Structures are given as structure tokens and as C-alpha cells.
Structure 1
Amino acid sequence: MQAYPQGQQPVINQPAVTVQPAPQTVIQVTQVTGNPMMPRGPSRDWSTDMCGCCDDMTICLCTTFVPCHSCMLAADMDESCCVPMCIPSALIAMRAVVRSRHNITGNLMNDCACMTFCGPCTTCQLGRELKMIKNGRAMP
């Protein structure tokens, strides 16, 4: 231990601490009216009726006899062809996606009921809708 002369104390220099105010974050809240998940603008009905299977016999026959028809529908939606094969109840999800993308009236419960109880007819309707959108005869 080092001895200091009488009346003197050791001087310890500490680094200076500067306190700066934190930057302010401003959060602006805006009110959203309606359902923010739905596209803006007026909704529309499906271009064809669900029971109009015979309106396009090619789609009707493909839905009935071609097992990979749902893969073709997925490709028309710009989705992977694997979607219908890998996702349970994929046609319900595909119908809901088309409905929401193209502002078609309905809801998820209606999509589930239609695909569960009238699957082939609803698949034909989905195929006709995608064909009409692709050909520019339905509102995209």
C-alpha cells in the first residue's frame, strides 16, 4: 500500500458520461373501415352458376374422368401442380383464393359447404371461372 502525504488523496479520473435523448418514434394510427382482408371495390357473383356443369362440357368431362384436372386448375391459378395432391382439402383453399383474388361474393363456410356436398359441380364452376378470367370474359 502506498502512503500519500498528509491531506492529499489520490485523484481518480473517470471517463465523462454524456446522456443523449433517445430518438422519438411517431406512430400514426389510421382507422380502417370494412374488412381489411377483402379487396376494395364492389364484389361480384361467380360468372356461372354452380349447377351449370353442362355449360362447358370439356371442363365437365375433365372434372369427371381426368384425375389430374385439379392440377390443371392449380396451374391456371399460377400455383404449383402439387398443391391439390399435397394439401388436404386443397380445392376448398383454391376456391377461396380465386374468390378473394377476384372479389367474388361468398365466405369460407360457403366454400367448404359447396366443395363438401357438391364437389364435382363446384370444381366445374371453379374451372369455368378460371377459364373465363384467363380469356378475359370475367372481371379479373
Structure 2
Amino acid sequence: MQTYPQGQQPVFNQPTVTVQPAAQTIIQVTQVTGNPMMPRGPPRDWTTEMCGCCDDMTICLCTTFVPCYPCMLAADMDESCCVPMCIPSALISMRAVVRSRHNIAGNLMNDCVCMTFCGLCVTCQLGREVQMIKNGRAIP
């Protein structure tokens, strides 16, 4: 046992902790660009009017008299031709897909109402839009 002179207490040195600043991690976020299927900017209008059925008589007649026209339209959109036969209200979904892919103004409720009350006209409009896009004539 160690003895200390009278009146002195042992001195214990506390360990010191040195805090070093943490290394900074820099995360760089880059925007992915160049996807032609997802154009940016303000929404555009449909290339043709909903009631412009006679603008393309071939599409008009196919929509009216060819029962498998929605299947052909789905194939033109690079979707399975079975979509119109397997999905209830498939034309509403197809219209929404074209709208979102090509930055066309509108919303899902508008698509539902238009398809419910003017189904043939809206199908014609969708067919014309898909053809315009495929031919590179859609308004950017």
C-alpha cells in the first residue's frame, strides 16, 4: 500500500477523449435524362380532338366494325394483344398509359368519364394518337 504525506490526497488523472471531426460523405445526385418515353416539360394536348373520328376513316371504321381492334391497338402500344380481353376496362388503362408516357394533359377520372360516355370516339382518338406517335408526327 502506498502512503501519502499528511493532508495530501492521491491525484488520479482522468483519461482524455479527443473527438475528431467525422469524414464528410458527399453524395452526388445526377438526373437521368434521355428517355424518349418520358418527355418532360408542361403537358401537351392530344394531337387530335376526341370528336375528330372522321380525321382517319380507317381507324374510325376499324373501331366501329372490327371487334379485335383494341387488341391491335394494344399491340401498336407494345403491350400484349391480350390486354383488352383480360383486363376489365382495358381501354381506360391504355389511354392512361399513353397519356403518362407522352406527357398528355388529363387525369384518370377524365379518362374514365370520356371512355364511359364516348367510348368509340375516345378509342378512335387513342388509335390516332398511337399512330401519330409511331410515325413521329405527334406534337412534342
Q: Could you state the TM-score of these two structures normalised by the residue count of structure 1? A: 0.72
Paired position in structure 2 for 1:113: 113
Paired position in structure 1 for 2:71: 71
- Measured on the aligned residues, the alpha-carbon RMSD in Å equals 2.0
Long gaps (5+) in structure 1: 1-25, 31-37
CA distance in 2, matches of 1:77, 1:94: 8
Q: Per the alignment, in what secondary structure is the counterpart of residue 96 of structure 2?
A: helix
The answer to whether structure 1 residue 95 and structure 2 residue 95 are counterparts is yes
CA distance in 1, matches of 2:99, 2:73: 14
Q: Per the alignment, in what secondary structure is the counterpart of residue 61 of structure 2?
A: helix
Question: Following superposition of structure 1 onto structure 2, how do residues 1-140 of structure 1 map, counting pairs within 5 Å?
Answer: 40-139=40-139
CA distance in 2, matches of 1:45, 1:126: 12
TM-aligned CA deviation for residue 40 of structure 1: 3.0
Deviation beyond 4 Å, 4+ runs, structure 1? none
Q: Could you state the TM-score of these two structures normalised by the residue count of structure 2? A: 0.72
Instruction: State the identity %.
Output: 85
Q: Per the alignment, in what secondary structure is the counterpart of residue 45 of structure 1?
A: coil
Long gaps (5+) in structure 2: 1-24, 30-37
TM-aligned CA deviation for residue 39 of structure 1: 5.8
Q: Which amino acid aligns with 1:132?
A: M
CA distance in 1, matches of 2:50, 2:73: 16
Q: Which amino acid aligns with 1:135?
A: N
CA distance in 1, matches of 2:139, 2:53: 20
